[in-house]
Amino acid sequence: MTLLSVEGLTIDLPGRQPGLVEDVSFQVSEGRSTALIGESGCGKTLTSMSILGLLPAAVRVTAGSVWFDGVDLLTCTPRQLRRIRGGPVGMVFQEPMSSLNPTMTVGDQIAEARRLHLGERRGAALARARELLERVGIPNAARRIGAYPHEMSGGMQQRVMIAAAIACEPKLVIADEPTTALDVTIQAEILALLRDLQRDLDLAVLLVTHDLGVVADFCDEVVVMYAGHIAERTTVDRLFYDPGHPYSSALLAAVPQSGQARSRLTVIPGRVPSAGGFPAGCRFEPRCAHAVEHCREPQPDALLGEGHRTRCGRVASGDLTLKGAGRG
């Protein structure tokens, strides 16, 4: 069953840069994990922040809807959104040290959500906070509950963020690059923790990432974004074995492969265009190895198969078949 449905989302910087994100649509199902992937500057974080009304002050959602559990979040008042943030929808931000309050203990920061959303007294909320710290794998939680963020490692800070996000037993967690600043070992621990929590709490997860290894290991569905558009929407298996857009295929080709020491890495030429400088046709056309004249015309969103959509006319017409990389 669909829990979150983003439909036709368009985000502008009025008067300066229209179409930072344009006509974005995807769904997240109950108990499932969906990844938003793409290079930096493709609109992934803007899209995720817009769901909870956390866009920068000058940036506006100018079209579309965001339905969560039967409520259009884009029509909610600030007060209504505050009841949803940290309650039925949890958020794990990319940089825990800049997201956690340095003047509050981690216990009080976790307990705050339960006090605000559930009306618990401080003692009861702190007791639950200690249980949550234990749940996310922080040793000696009874002592750590009184620690400040700067007294903890990056991995522990990220675990605190996750504990705060699940404090009120949400239905959905939005995780924005939750493993980016961590070393490989801690990344694996955080992903294992999220997987366990998802199973135990029946969480839906929207994961913003550029790490295809994380996608392969953790997610069920994937939304590939490029230059503010959705290039492809599909299952993770289809993405890796049968990609439906040249950008998806290029991302897969750029991943280093095990057992190929000293081989030359594949790169995508050029860079993501800035908003206001998008091509008139396919936004990936200037960087695409498969581009033809037709690609300079706008590309409609096309259905390739059940649950598999692309914004590439050549793939949709059968004129182009792309090679996957597998999940190894």
User: What average pLDDT does range 45-54 have in this prediction?
Assistant: 94
The answer, yes or no, to whether residue 312 has pLDDT greater than 80, is yes
Predicted pLDDT of residue 261: 64
CA–CA dist 316, 174 (Å, integer): 31
Give the helix ranges, DSSP H, for the chain: 44-51, 78-84, 96-99, 106-118, 122-135, 141-144, 154-165, 184-201, 212-218, 236-241, 246-253, 313-317
User: What average pLDDT does range 157-167 have in this prediction?
Assistant: 91
Q: How confident is the model at residue 245 (pLDDT cuts 50, 70, 90)?
A: very high
Q: How confident is the model at residue 292 (pLDDT cuts 50, 70, 90)?
A: very high
pTM: 0.92
Predicted pLDDT of residue 69: 92
Predicted pLDDT of residue 323: 79
- Are the C-beta atoms of residues 50 and 61 closer than 8 Å to each other? yes
Predicted pLDDT of residue 180: 73
Domain 2-97+171-226 belongs to what topology? Rossmann fold (3.40.50)
- Are the C-beta atoms of residues 204 and 28 closer than 8 Å to each other? yes
Q: How confident is the model at residue 262 (pLDDT cuts 50, 70, 90)?
A: low
Pick the range with the lowest mean pLDDT from 136-140, 143-147, 321-325.
321-325
Predicted pLDDT of residue 207: 95
Q: How confident is the model at residue 94 (pLDDT cuts 50, 70, 90)?
A: confident
Comparing CA positions, the residue from 158, 294, 227 lying closest to residue 17 is 227
